[in-house]
């Protein structure tokens, strides 16, 4: 495989990209990271914007996802209200946290979940890697919100025009053609290797190959998280819902995708 480099540069969409399981990861205690003992107090004292549901008061994954999509619509419309960013909310969360959703997304500076979903402090537990690439260490960070803090919703969020996916696609396509990948000055060999299953899964999809690869990567990650040792039982019991989605840089909208 050629090494590649990179330069800095309810809505539902159906896709047929395949899914693969993840290998078992080490289970490590994360008790020192955060305590959820203050979550109830935070929910009671946090001030909500009158026009916007208090995410901390929502219980089911469906309610939470609907609220996130409503917030995303406000963001896309240029009318965010930035709920839960007041001093009272911040102070109420000092003793502990009870995020209602975990979000696993890309490091791209244009894709900040707290802004994209128009949420406040303590609402989301966010993990970010380039192209939301996934390994055992990352998986333990992603699973912490649902497994340790009982967040009932986990969102895997890919995004349009992902530079890491584009670079990986170009490198893998060049390797298929027996050519050298373009050197952009920043090596991403591990990311290219991690994204290879998404490249293979997207081969038979129509339309833009990078868009298909982004969607395939989201779906593969959703499946891997559903099978993760920290999360599999929660998913099986219906205590956790894992959702895959893609964010459009052009419209500002998040669209859910399904296998």
Residues making up the binding site for Zn(2+): 106, 108, 159, 162
User: Which contiguous run of DSSP H or E holds residue 13?
Assistant: strand 12-14
Count CB-CB contacts under 10 A for residue 215: 28
Residue 192's alpha-carbon distances to 25, 134, 161, in angstroms, are 21, 12, 16
CA distance 212 to 198: 9
Residue environment code for 33-64, b if the CB has 16+ CB neighbours within 10 A, otherwise e: ebebebbeebbeebebeeebbbbbebeebebb
* Binding-site positions: 106, 108, 159, 162
CA distance 58 to 48: 12
């Amino acid at each position: 495989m050629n090494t590649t480099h990179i330069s800095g540069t309810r809505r539902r969409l159906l896709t047929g990209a395949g899914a693969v399981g993840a290998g078992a990861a080490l289970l490590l205690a994360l008790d020192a990271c955060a305590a959820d003992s203050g979550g109830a107090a935070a929910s009671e004292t946090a001030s909500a914007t009158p026009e916007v549901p208090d995410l901390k008061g929502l219980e089911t994954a469906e309610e939470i996802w609907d609220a996130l999509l409503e917030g995303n619509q406000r963001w896309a419309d240029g009318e965010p209200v930035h709920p839960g960013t007041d001093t009272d909310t911040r102070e109420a969360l000092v003793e502990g946290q009870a995020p209602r959703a975990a979000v696993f997304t890309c490091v791209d500076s244009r894709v900040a979940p707290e802004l994209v979903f128009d949420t406040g402090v303590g609402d989301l537990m966010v993990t970010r890697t380039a192209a939301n690439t996934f390994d055992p260490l990352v998986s333990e960070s992603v699973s912490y919100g649902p497994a340790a803090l009982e967040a009932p919703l986990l969102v895997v969020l890919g995004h349009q025009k992902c530079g890491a996916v584009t670079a990986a696609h170009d490198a893998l396509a060049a390797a298929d053609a027996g050519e050298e990948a373009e050197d952009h000055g920043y090596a991403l060999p591990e990311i290219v290797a991690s994204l290879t299953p998404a490249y293979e899964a997207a081969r038979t999809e129509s339309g833009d190959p990078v868009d298909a690869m982004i969607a395939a990567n989201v779906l593969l990650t959703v499946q891997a998280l559903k099978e993760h040792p920290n999360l599999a039982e929660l998913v099986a019991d219906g205590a956790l819902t894992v959702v895959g989605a893609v964010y459009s840089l052009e419209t500002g909208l998040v669209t859910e995708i399904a296998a």
